[in-house]
Amino acid sequence: MNPASNYEELKAIIAVNYPDLSEHLKRIARFSLVHPNDLALGTVASVAKSAEVQPSAVIRFANALGYNGFSEMQRIFRGNLLQRSDNYRERIMQMRSQRADGDKSPVGVLHQLVSDAVGDLEKMEESIVSADIAVAAELIATCPRIFLLAQRRSFPIVSYLGYALSRLELRTHLLDGVGGLLKESLGAISQGDVLIVASFLNYSPEVIDAAAKAHGAGIAVIAITDWPLSPLKNSSRICLEVARDSTRAFRSLVVPMCLAQTLVVQAGYYLAEQKQSTPVKARRPRKKAP
């Protein structure tokens, strides 16, 4: 196997080979995608300890991906870390220099962002499973309470869901962790409730842990994420994957927002259909006064 020369290629190779890996190597694969910075900065021993495997398994993992050793694989993770460490100004300058048509006007920038978003929407439309949306919408429409959790760039998605679902008169609770009370807020979720989470590379550890604990407690989790090996996949009853190009300087929220709107509309359809199918009780005639 030819080893990957960059992080995007490495993720693709991990996804292709994941089913054939041993359980220990699968554990390292999941860990490497959730905590790529640990792979970039850690040692074989520290990575093995964090992934709860033997150090020799880390070496075997690198060999399974075509590398001669851990250090050779680690260079890919370090390159990814350096690339992601660029501040917004540097990323904008990179985006500016990559314009193939040389148009750096506001209209040109808008055209590029719109074109990227349209392409992503088309990919999602082809890959999303309609049945998953239907099941997720029914869960949302019929559960007693809906809890929503996301961090950083993903937060606007659940914020919108909280607003829109409340307009459908559904009981929603946005978990923002203000005051460091996220753990206490999660403790309010009970059987029958639904937890909706959203997280993309690089995944939020708080969201991953919350989804895993909710799943372990028998709570239905609906995840909006972006990768077949997303750590949210094993913790979710419904996992809605939206493929995204993480090599771009700015990753659009258009696709997950469109998916969130679809869930809201579908839940609204379900509620309307249930209302129409419920028979109206006939009123008893009033007794005439003697």
Q: Tens of pLDDT along 162-212?
A: 999 999 999 999 988 777 777 778 888 888 999 999 998 777 888 888 898
Could you tell me the pTM of the whole model? Answer: 0.68
Give the pair of three-digit tokens for residue 131.
């049945």
- For the record, the structure tokens of 270 come out as 């379900």
What is the pLDDT at residue 124?
A: 79
Q: Which residues contact 193 (CB under 8 A, 6 or more apart)?
A: 143, 144, 145, 146, 147, 219, 220
Over the chain, what is the mean pLDDT? 83
Q: Per residue in 125-136, pLDDT tens?
A: 777 788 999 999
pLDDT at position 222: 96
Q: What is the mean pLDDT of residues 262-282?
A: 82
Name all domains of the chain by residue range, CATH numbers in brackets.
7-84 (1.10.10.10), 120-277 (3.40.50.10490)
